[in-house]
Amino acid sequence: MKIHITQGRVIDPVTQRDSQSDLFIAAGKIVALERCPAGFTPNRVIDARGKIVMPGLVDLAARLREPGYEYLATLESEMVAATVGGVTSLSCPPDTDPPLDEPGLVEMLKHRAHGREQTNVYPLGALTQQLQGLRLTEMGELYDAGCIAFSQANAPLLDTQVLLRALDYATTFGFTVWLQPQDAYLARDGVAHDGEVASRLGLPAIPTCAETIAVNTILQLVRETGARVHLCRLSSASGVDLVRAAKKEGLPVTCDISINHLHLTEHDIGYFNAHCRLIPPLRSVRDRAALCAGLVDGTIDALVSDHAPVDVDAKQLPFEAAEPGATGLELLLPLTLAWARSQALPLVTALARITSAPAKILGIPAGQLSPGQPADLCIFDPEREWAVTPKNLKSQGKNTPFLNHLMQGKVSHTLVGGFIIHEDARA
């Protein structure tokens, strides 16, 4: 299909383009901007007046819940949620049931997720067998099956010798290891930040040092091995400082934060709001300010949805017993726009954190609007408001701290490989 997108405000974080322009698509790729190529006759014209045309979102953390947790969400429902949110590429953690520790499981997931009218899915392979932190997986075979990197998800890896061997192995073959920095012993049984809210509510706490000790350990092992490491979901000011210093040192480290932690703090727990039961926990106002500053100055590379659909009943339990996690695929774009407005940031800068920067971490051809690149696009109305309600969310998970909040910014079209996979005539 040949598509002509007219009169849109085209934003491309890679080339720093931010101007009204036409865009032309053929054979699944962008063929031109501004001027129509010779002999180009479109099969479809999309009027993007008053809308923004940008690269499709790239989300580094989206649990699709298959295989094994279909009662929480299905691949079908979460792929629809991704397209509605303008997400054209995503990576999913390996903490399924069974975990993604065998090539056959990865191939099955890739096969089910593959389709010309669906978001691109890039699985993370399990770093250790069954995510038990004892024996390494066959990373080479998992990579050949389609894994883009290797992770423990939220599962602890207590034995630092195993982690050292994993980083050594990954370095040998050029693989990237994704680690969530949280000391399992210091975080044991904790559910909230070790601050005034946890004290007032009597909740077991997770101190900031649970993150910083883990970050320090990982960085020292990176110095020893030279491994490429991506730190997932930083949450503290101290953690940001450590990563900033590591980058100045030249260590091959990247990191991301959850969109929830960019907007919320421990105070949003209120009176035991289980929708704010997250991993890592929501931290202090000072920590949130440091996350924002780190995102602006480039210390933090990417924003993620940390999408984790949870059953309604599991969120109606007492805070300590509630299942952690929040749905986020459909909220990543409007919450990023809200952050940009609050900081008076240029959109080209803010949108880089959910497009080109995460695409670079994944090493995939996405996140830019240059001729010859895959036509993975998101078109949205930056002014349109919509309410976050269970009815409006396409994800099977309706669990989010932003439930019943108004969002500004709604996706009208999502394209993957030149195919229109989502279209909302109202947006």
Please classify residue 427 by burial: count the beta carbons closer than 10 Å to its beta carbon, then call 0-12 exposed, 13-18 middle and 19+ buried.
middle
In our burial notation (b when 16+ CB lie closer than 10 A, e otherwise), range 111-126 reads ebbeeeebbbbbbbbb
Neighbouring-strand partners of residue 218: none
Do 295 and 308 contact (CB within 8 A), yes or no? Answer: no
Give me the long-range contacts of 33-39 (CB less than 8 A, separation at least 24): 33/369, 33/371, 36/4
Distance, in Å, from the CA atom of 125 to the CA atom of 138, rounded to the nearest integer, reads: 10
What contacts 163, CB < 8 A, 6 or more positions away? 157, 217, 218, 221
Closest CA to 7 of 47, 39, 66: 47
**CA distance readout (Å), 163 to 123, 127, 128, 194, 363:** 20, 9, 9, 27, 23
Neighbouring-strand partners of residue 203: none
334 upstream amide cis, omega within 30 of 0: no
Active site residue 306: yes
Please classify residue 271 by burial: count the beta carbons closer than 10 Å to its beta carbon, then call 0-12 exposed, 13-18 middle and 19+ buried.
exposed
Closest CA to 62 of 385, 331, 410: 331
Tokens in use for 7?
A: 């009169």
What CA dihedral angle connects 59, 331, 97 and 93, to 10 degrees? 20
Q: 């101007």: which residue's tokens?
A: 19
User: Of 306, 313, 376, 424, which is the active-site residue?
Assistant: 306
Q: Residue 378: enclosing H or E segment and its boundaries?
A: strand 377-387
Catalytic residue numbers read 306
